[in-house]
Chain A
């Protein structure tokens, strides 16, 4: 079976320019710097990393909102960047997005019915004009909102309800892939679970595939089948949820996991703490060799000289980009 989405060596650099009239390019922000992965039908791939690791840029390139600097993204085996006209419209139907901030991602001057029904203006083949209102009401019902609310405005809803509106809009065209960029991080704790459970139900109901981007490792574990960990524009480790959380081999993954607070005070004493020092280096001038070496406690000479490839390493079968990869269990349980 070919994967639904195949990403190969994707690169996105942004130029850093100086000067007012004559702009000189003085460097590049290497936001995404050689990312490869596959996404299967009905699967959720979680992408985790700290701010600035390039996860949101990745989402924008996958959505074809930004052209890549290099690399290929194939949807059902076809290059998405080669698509034009009708083929591009069909692609837009099949790949949709849910955004982070439900306050700024909905037009305050449109009613909920117009927001959720707007995709049909561009893709009338999905729902003929006479059927739209009924379709919108169905969608609202699917995401757990009262179908009577079609004439209300976004400000009349809470954050969690707005995120449901955003999800309904993403579902309108019956997509195959939904790219979720931090869909629950702006929501209150008691509301997060509602939206996460909804995303899970929709996936089972419609056979959706998700690329689920988040910084919260607990949320990602809960929803993902496979997980990719990003650092400074690169995937440093990728594997099934169990491989990443129970048998991490990359020091960065281990440090991230050990920093996640666990809501159980009895684990305080039993937890192993790895504390990273310093901060993420600038993506304009990433360190040579392994990009994590400046903060890594295992770093040796080879780490500065040779960039570690993302390949299966000793200790476990899943790919890890570390010369000194070794399984270390950092979360108890």
Chain B
């Protein structure tokens, strides 16, 4: 097993002037009957080759919408991109032609989804669905494409892949379906893989298998992995860097060890204090009061201030910027310095 916590020996950066994938000031709104929901309000993050970025947030924080916008699969309407950029090797995909976007999808950036049963097509065999990509994009003939599908299924650890290539999605268990989806996402050798809650629907022992597999594949191919999750436990086990999202904004960025040791945003701190840990006995849970904001009426100022234990009058006045702190981290809290020196 490859130890993912081991830092990679990174190559000199001279050859890569741009990050592999960079999202900058991304803004998306959903125009609904109940009003305009401001789902993304300036999201910035980037991922480099061989790196795992975890995007952490609760439901409605905008983490999946960001991923869908990167992939160009945002439902329009109701979703509209109103600003910002998604740069792949420095090229803004939001300004690219539909043909160019299609080229990047799958080959440049691929995605796996939470619910493999609804993401796979129930009427085609898994082999067909994997082979379809290499047939249309690489011009392989049917037989070669099926061989490739078997190789991929074998690589993601599906036993007797040669026999199972003709099976349909419903014939696989939840964990095996998730492996099929991983195999499918790898068919065109993407440089970036976005995994949107890949293990949320799975049991813990299967979750561990899938996370090991993703980490192994990522290290082997030096892919940039964006792991979208709400699970602080999973993040601690695999991520290199973390971006915490709240109400459509990144509120904190940090290297994984630094984030857990000294969270510099009260939301991150509160989350860490509110989750039960399997390794602690008689733990006190501090709860976060209230609810995540309604995105059609985000509170003025810092969106977290109504729930924040450290809120002060200034917090209501303006939205705090995501400002850099030492150790290559940043926080969108006016009192980040105070938290850092606790």
Contacts and interface: CB of A to CB of B under 8 A. Distances in A.
Interface of A: 50-51, 158, 160, 188-194, 196-197, 215, 217-219, 221-222, 241-242, 245-246, 255-269, 273, 275-276, 279, 331-333
B278 interface: yes
Contact of A221 (B176, B232, B276, B291): B276
Contacts of B286: 193
A78 B180 CA distance: 51
Given A188-B59, A197-B287, A215-B204, A262 B292 contact: no
Given A242-B281, A263-B233, A269 B3 contact: yes
Interface stretch (B85-93, B106-114, B234-242): B234-242
B276 A196 contact: yes
Central interface residue in B1, B58, B204, B233, by most chain A CB within 10 Å: B204
A193 B204 CA distance: 20
Interface residues of B, number: 48
Contact of B230 (A188, A246, A264): A188
Given A50-B205, A279-B175, A261 B58 contact: no
Contacts of B207: 259, 261
Given A50-B203, A197-B285, A259 B236 contact: no
B266 to A, nearest CB: 12
Given A194-B288, A197-B287, A275-B208, 20 more contacts: A50-B206, A188-B58, A189-B271, A193-B275, A219-B276, A221-B276, A222-B276, A242-B281, A245-B281, A256-B204, A259-B208, A260-B204, A261-B233, A263-B232, A269-B3, A273-B1, A275-B212, A279-B173, A279-B206, A331-B278
B257 interface: yes
Nearest to B5: A268
A18 B256 CA distance: 54
B283 A262 contact: no
A260 B270 CA distance: 21
Nearest to B203: A50
A149 to B, nearest CB: 14
A8 to B, nearest CB: 28
B193 to A, nearest CB: 20
Contacts of B209: 275-276
Contacts of B175: 279
21 contacts: A158-B291, A188-B230, A189-B271, A191-B291, A192-B274, A193-B275, A193-B276, A193-B287, A218-B277, A258-B208, A259-B204, A260-B204, A261-B236, A262-B279, A263-B275, A264-B277, A264-B279, A265-B237, A275-B209, A275-B212, A279-B206
Given A190-B288, A192-B274, A259-B204, A265 B256 contact: yes
A260 B277 CA distance: 9
Given A51-B203, A193-B286, A266 B208 contact: no
Given A265-B236, A267-B279, A50 B204 contact: yes
Nearest to B61: A188
A246 B280 CA distance: 10
B272 interface: yes
B313 to A, nearest CB: 24
Contacts of A189: 58, 230-232, 271, 274-275
A219 B275 CA distance: 8
A120 to B, nearest CB: 29
Given A50-B203, A193-B288, A256-B204, A332 B271 contact: no
Contact of B285 (A193, A217, A245, A246): A193
A190 B278 contact: no
A158 B278 CA distance: 27
A191 to B, nearest CB: 8
A296 B276 CA distance: 28
B291 A262 contact: no
Given A50-B205, A190-B270, A264-B260, A218 B291 contact: no
A232 to B, nearest CB: 13
Nearest to B159: A278
Central interface residue in B206, B257, B260, B279, by most chain A CB within 10 Å: B279
Contact of B236 (A158, A188, A218, A264): A264
Given A256-B204, A269-B5, A279-B175, A262 B270 contact: no
A219 B233 CA distance: 13
Interface in B182-228: 203-209, 211-212
A331 B233 CA distance: 13
Central interface residue in A190, A193, A196, A276, by most chain B CB within 10 Å: A190
Given A189-B271, A197-B287, A215 B203 contact: yes
B141 to A, nearest CB: 34
Interface in B151-185: 173, 175-176
A251 to B, nearest CB: 12
